[in-house]
Chains A and B, each alone.
Chain A
Amino acid sequence: MLRPLLLLLLAFALSSCILLVEEDEPRRPVQPVQPVTPVTPVQPSIVTPGPGTFTYRCSGGTLVVNYLDSNNLRLFYDGAFQNLSLVRRSPTLLFSGGAGGAYTWEWTGSRGTLTVRGQVVLSNCAL
């Protein structure tokens, strides 16, 4: 009486059983790790437009700048040519010089400013 009942239960239990068999993945050989030097973020360098002569349009008027090489330029202001030399490369290019060392030309990469004796005379200069 009990035996058929057990057999019936066994059949019922086995029908709801899912057997999962996992296979071991083949192990890959571990590569030796090289020590890595931390990378310092590099600021993009500002490029001077040149060499050559360019006319900037600024708030205040136009300005003709002749880039002689990457370190020297010549601009025309106050009725005379002013020779300026590069004094700084970052964060903006800064040229200084001219008569009495009174002139500075700062170039951000897209905009320029001319200062004479500490006063901004031409700003927002663009090509």
Chain B
Amino acid sequence: MRKTPWLLLLLPLVLSSCIVVVDLPVSNFRFDSNWQRTTDGAYVFCTNQDSYIRYSFSGPSPDRIRTITEIYRGEISGRELPVLRPKSDLNYSGGRYTFVGKLTFGDTGIPQSLQPFSIVVVPTLPPPVTTNPPRAAINGATEVTVEVVNTAGITYRGTYTYITYANCP
């Protein structure tokens, strides 16, 4: 009986020294590119044409994000390329981050050069059947994983596998 007032008195004191920080989770990863397959709408890469990757995700303000890493894995070659992406390369607007980059293919890696403009999706795959030029053909697949680590050390991931094509029109 006599302890209760003391406890009630102590409780506000303890709570007043406690700061609870709740980070917004990183979520809702989305991936696309400037090439889209007409048969199923899948976003693909064309290895003979300019190909752009675009990904976005919802997350807290940049000061709550520690690192962003892209991991490109060639499913046929077995090569893996991690790219540490500076936060400044992403556009942050309305609680959403967006990155657009131009891809290069081959053994020298898939480095991205930032192209901060919106991409135009070209829904022309597969192309109309013609006799002269070689038809577009699947020549591989690139799995892209985006890893976001917040300042609390929690890692969030989003993954998409892009089928790659040769001889895009």
Question: Does B138 lie at the interface of the complex (its beta carbon under 8 Å from any beta carbon of A)?
Answer: yes
Q: How far, in angstroms, from A26 to B113 measured CA to CA in the complex?
A: 80
Which of the segments B53-61, B70-78, B92-100 contacts the partner chain? B70-78
Which of the segments B9-17, B19-27, B145-153, B159-167 contacts the partner chain? B159-167
A64 touches B166 (CB 8 A): no
B140 touches A76 (CB 8 A): yes
Question: Does B106 lie at the interface of the complex (its beta carbon under 8 Å from any beta carbon of A)?
Answer: yes
Q: How far, in angstroms, from A22 to B140 measured CA to CA in the complex?
A: 85
The secondary structure that dominates the B interface is loop
For A, the interface residue count at a CB cutoff of 8 angstroms equals 22
B167 touches A64 (CB 8 A): no
Residues of B within 8 A of A127 (CB): 107
A61 touches B139 (CB 8 A): yes
Kindly identify which residue among A54, A57, A62 contacts B164, using a CB–CB cutoff of 8 Å.
A62
Instruction: Point out residues on A near B: beta carbons under 8 Å.
Output: 53-64, 76-79, 116, 119-122, 127
Instruction: Point out residues on B near A: beta carbons under 8 Å.
Output: 46-48, 74, 76-79, 105-107, 134, 137-140, 164-168
